[in-house]
Amino acid sequence: MLGVNARAAVGRFWAPVVAWLLRAGVTADMVTLTGTVGAVAGAVGLIATGHLFWGAFTVTVFVLLDMLDGALARARGGGSVFGAVLDSTGDRAADAAVFGALVWWFSGAGDNRLLVLLALLCLVLGVLTSYIKARAEGMGLSCDVGVVERTERLILVLAGTGFTGLGIPYAVHVGLWVLLVGSAVTVGQRFLAVYRQSRGRSLPAPPSSPPAGLTP
């Protein structure tokens, strides 16, 4: 869970940049949008066309902005509800673009059906990983568990893609296989965490409708 454990170190690393952006009047939402658009463009324009190393490099640069927008929001006194939704939506869009680009390349000129299947499975499991957490937190539960979160997911897929682009054989195979297993374990861990916390709890009853004829 590097995304949680590395937060303090990341904050120290970005501190000078955050201070400069604050003086320049840049907002966290601007950074989020820039990072999302850049990551999607890198995936679609480079990875999907077979430029695997430069695609992985470009996406990595823009994904790093995802660490910066949170630090910038905190420096401004805390993020907004809209900013939180925008950030989560941008994360999902960037992730989908990376795996979608791999599917596009390896189903065409890349010609590797196994990698197409692995990329699709990793994409689905990544969505499930995020959804379980969001749904659990919406129910008032905690779900910060799992061996593979977004940070690990991106490290594995981008490292594998980049090394393949440098000519290292089977690098993307290894990255996607490890990611597939880790993501499946994470989904199981999150379901187990939700099950343990929700035992004995029932859904709140829906509000009752007023009798007919009494509706104001």
Alpha helices (runs of H) in the chain, residue ranges in sequence order: 2-5, 7-24, 28-45, 52-63, 65-75, 81-106, 113-138, 150-165, 171-198
- Whether the CB-CB separation of 183 and 122 falls below 8 Å is answered with yes
Cα(137)–Cα(133) distance, integer angstroms: 6
- Whether the CB-CB separation of 40 and 97 falls below 8 Å is answered with yes
The number of distinct structural domains making up the chain is 1
Give me the phi and psi of 138, to 5 degrees please. Answer: -65, -20
CATH number of the domain that residue 72 is part of: 1.20.120.1760
Reported as a single tens digit per residue, the pLDDT across 35-91 is 999 999 999 999 999 999 999 999 999 998 877 887 787 777 777 888 889 999 999
**Is residue 216, in this structure, part of any structural domain at all?**
no
**Is residue 128, in this structure, part of any structural domain at all?**
yes
Chain CA centroid to CA 141, Å: 20
Torsion of CA 27, 30, 31, 36, to 10 degrees: 160
Residue 159 has pLDDT above 90, yes or no: yes
**Is residue 43, in this structure, part of any structural domain at all?**
yes
**Is residue 207, in this structure, part of any structural domain at all?**
no
Residue 198 has pLDDT above 60, yes or no: yes
**Is residue 214, in this structure, part of any structural domain at all?**
no
Q: What is the mean pLDDT of the chain?
A: 88
Domain that holds residue 78: 2-198
More confident call, 165 vs 67: 165
**Which residues are known catalytic residues?**
91
Question: Where on the phi/psi map is residue 146: left (φ > 0), alpha (ψ -120 to 50), or beta?
Answer: left
Cα(137)–Cα(122) distance, integer angstroms: 23
Question: In this structure, how many other beta carbons lie within 10 angstroms of the beta carbon of residue 131?
Answer: 13
For the ranges 79-93, 106-120, 144-158, the lowest mean pLDDT is seen at 79-93
Reported as a single tens digit per residue, the pLDDT across 184-195 is 999 999 999 999
